[in-house]
Structure 1
Amino acid sequence: MKVKIKSLVNVVGHEELYVIPITYNGIFLLGLNFYEEVEGGRTARFIIVKDNYGEIDDKVRIISGYKGIVEAEGIEEDYKTLSKYIKIEKTLKSNRIPIFVNIEIKQNSENYARGIQGYLNYISKYGEINPLQLKDKIKLEIEELI
């Protein structure tokens, strides 16, 4: 996947969500999240996390951070790659994906935001995901735009 990141990302909100780590490119992490688009939903979506301190390791983590939007290429092919390793029913079909900055790692969530509930819906149907199954299955290329 190739992601284009503007030097100033326009923040569109704040969100709390589960992150399933896939691969790093410098301080940028490509992750997978399941989003509750409708009640009981579990739509897969790629996300980028600016992880300045390498806090997200090989475990599924809850993060909280400011959300912006970036453009990406090769998304459909990458969903197909991941679907060889885990069950993916529905995907977010867009070349625009969220990026999270100024993140904080949470131990648990009292919040049932869509990025939290979608993951809980997924694991209730298919079980826990082992991030090591997905590690480095997709290459992340970052183009920082000035």
Structure 2
Amino acid sequence: MSTVTTATNATTTHRSARSVARRTAWLAGALFWSAFAVLEAVNHGWLAGTLALTFFVLPDLTFLVALDDAPRMAKGQLPPCAVPYYNALHRALVPLALLVAYTVQPFFAWAPLFAALCGWMAHISYDRAFGYGLRTKEGFQRG
């Protein structure tokens, strides 16, 4: 019995250490993207700052898609019809791919766009650092 308990505790400790390391890395990324968005806003004016702030807040406004269904949902549950929008705006690959395109394509060379993408990446990174991820089809946080 004690061998099984010890193995279970070791597995739990290992998972916990990985989770803390992963969340710490996301927090470092969030601070980086926040600093970059602020730098772009300072260097390129109010439009860049406004877009960075807008894109920082925008992903969490997806709940407005299903405002009518909100009272019927369980605590912490997002209405299922809003889940595809929420998940689409909380995938790091989308703004990251756009940031890469920004660096290699001249038609993307507009500083306020870069600030907006940095704000979006900062939002996603803060969410992951604080333990919020994508949602299941039913609207609950994925485990």
User: Please, what TM-score do these two structures have when normalized by structure 1?
Assistant: 0.23
* CA radius of gyration, larger in: 2
Q: Which has the higher strand share?
A: 1
Q: Which has the higher helix share?
A: 2
